[in-house]
């Protein structure tokens, strides 16, 4: 079968099956060979790799992955795409198609079955509205992942790799960078897709750290602090934490913790590094343990 990265072939397949694009699934099919090559290169796929692809669409990237990897499992939520995938991928004996919602799929079980529980590589062209839940779900559930290489909205990719004090820096930056090293591999214009999205896209690889770059006693508390600090971005960290419905700290307790962590009273959350959030979290955790109170 002709490669689906050929726009004419993609259109032919879509018309043959009478496929209608579903806005609820954020479907935009890639039609650029050069971008496909950049994704495979960025993900560093080899014949030793087992790859999970999220959202294969009609199988454009799946074809390229199947040729580069040892084996591929493609997870597609839209049941109307399954017969198309069965046709476009019929020439590949190393591809398994699952008609499932990836947020409800046991990726760890797939890794055990297909890869002996060893770290897998994840590749995806993600709908913009579900990018964060999927990526964070993979990290937080402790699925054995070597790297996640994804096509996402350009703005989201910028946020993932943003540094403290920049306009793109926020809770997503800190969450991603706690688990992985982000690398922006390519910017992708709208004309590389059918149909064309309204925004630019980017390919970003998130290489999982063997261990987080900072040590923290209570991850849950640290991320609650991070969320609170960015929920009211223009406020000081003190006010953000004091006003959070997630946290149970008094103004005096927060002031005491800021001082012990070496932070000024008027500091803003957007200027803190991951290490500083971890240090503040540990101070507050110790403070509450000493007083026998609840953390959150």
Q: Which domain holds residue 226?
A: 219-291
Please check whether residue 2 lies inside any domain of the structure: no
Residues 14 and 47 reside in one and the same domain: yes
Q: Are residues 180 and 228 in the same domain?
A: no
Q: Are residues 47 and 163 in the same domain?
A: yes
The b/e string for 126-147 (b: 16+ C-beta within 10 A; e otherwise) is: bbbebbbebbeebbeeebbbbb
Q: What is the pTM of this model?
A: 0.91
In a domain, 260, yes or no: yes
For residue 213, being part of any structural domain is answered with: no
Low-confidence ranges of the chain (pLDDT < 70): 1-2, 22-26, 292-296
Distance set, CA 205 to CA 38, 45, 260, 293 (Å): 11, 12, 36, 41
Q: Are residues 263 and 123 in the same domain?
A: no
Paired strand residues for 148 = 122, 206
pLDDT at 292: 61
* Amino acid 136: pLDDT: 92
Q: Does residue 296 fall inside a structural domain?
A: no
CATH code for the domain of 71 = 3.40.50.150
- Residue 38, Cβ neighbours under 10 Å: how many? 18
Q: Distance between CA 126 and CA 154 in Å, rounded?
A: 12
Say if residue 58 is in the same domain as residue 11.
yes
Taking only the tens place, the pLDDT of each residue in 103-112 is 999 999 999 9
- Claim to verify: residue 76 and residue 130 sit in the same structural domain: yes
Mark which of 208, 228, 259 sits at the end of a domain.
208
CATH number for the domain including 243?
Answer: 1.10.8.100
Q: Is residue 1 part of a domain?
A: no
Q: Are residues 199 and 241 in the same domain?
A: no
Domain-ending residue, one of 186, 208, 230: 208
Last residue of a domain, one of 208, 237, 265: 208
Residue 163 φ/ψ, nearest 5 degrees: -105, 160
225 and 186 in a common domain: no
What gap in Å lies between CA 139 and CA 119, rounded to an integer?
A: 12
Q: Are residues 48 and 159 in the same domain?
A: yes
Evaluate whether residue 252 is within a structural domain.
Answer: yes
pLDDT in tens, 246-255: 998 999 999 9
Is there a single domain that holds both residue 258 and residue 192? Answer: no
CA 91, 72, 125, 20 dihedral sign is positive
Residue 18: inside a domain? yes
Q: Answer yes or no: do 88 and 204 share one domain.
A: yes
Q: How confident is the model at residue 224, as a pLDDT?
A: 95
Is residue 137, in this structure, part of any structural domain at all? yes
**In the prediction, which pLDDT does 23 show?**
66
Q: Are residues 278 and 223 part of one domain? A: yes
DSSP assignments along the chain, one per residue? ---TTSHHHHHHHHHHTT----GGGT--EE--HHHHHHHHHHHT--TT-EEEEE--TTTHHHHHHHHHSSEEEEE---GGGHHHHHHHTTT-TTEEEE-S-GGGS-HHHHHHHHHTT--EEEEEE--GGGHHHHHHHHHHTT--EEEEEEEEEHHHHHHHT--TTSTT-SHHHHHHHHHEEEEEEEEE-GGGEESPPSS-EEEEEEEEPSS-SS--S-HHHHHHHHHHHHHTTTS-HHHHHHT-SS----HHHHHHHHHHTT--TT--GGG--HHHHHHHHHHHHHHHHHHT----
In whole angstroms, what is the distance from residue 194 CA to residue 30 CA?
Answer: 7
How many domains, the chain?
Answer: 2
């Amino acid at each position: 079968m002709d490669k689906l990265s050929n726009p004419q072939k993609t259109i032919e397949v879509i018309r043959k099956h009478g496929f209608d694009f579903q806005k609820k699934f954020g479907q935009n099919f890639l039609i650029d060979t050069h971008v496909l090559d950049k994704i495979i290169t960025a993900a560093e796929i080899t014949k030793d790799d087992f790859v999970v692809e999220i959202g294969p669409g009609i199988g454009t990237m799946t074809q390229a992955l199947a040729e580069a990897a040892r084996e591929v499992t493609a997870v597609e939520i839209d049941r109307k795409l399954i017969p198309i995938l069965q046709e476009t991928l019929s020439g590949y004996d190393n591809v398994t198609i699952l008609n499932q919602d990836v947020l409800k799929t046991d990726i760890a079980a797939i890794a055990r079955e297909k890869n002996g529980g060893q770290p897998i590589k994840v590749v995806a062209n993600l709908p913009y509205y579900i990018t964060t839940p999927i990526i964070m779900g993979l990290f937080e559930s402790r699925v054995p992942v070597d790297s996640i290489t994804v096509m996402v909205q350009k703005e989201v990719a910028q946020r993932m790799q943003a540094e403290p004090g920049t306009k793109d820096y926020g809770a997503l930056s800190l969450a991603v960078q706690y688990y992985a090293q982000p690398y922006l591999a390519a910017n992708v214009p709208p004309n590389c897709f059918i149909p064309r999205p309204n925004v630019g896209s980017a390919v970003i690889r998130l290489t999982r750290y063997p261990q987080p770059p900072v040590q923290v006693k209570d991850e849950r508390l640290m991320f609650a602090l991070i969320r609170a600090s960015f929920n009211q971005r223009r406020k000081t960290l003190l006010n953000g934490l004091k006003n959070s419905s997630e946290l149970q700290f008094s103004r005096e307790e927060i002031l005491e913790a800021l001082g012990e962590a070496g932070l000024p009273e008027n500091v803003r959350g957007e200027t803190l590094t991951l290490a500083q959030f971890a240090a503040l979290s540990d101070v507050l955790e110790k403070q509450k343990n000493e007083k026998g109170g609840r953390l959150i």
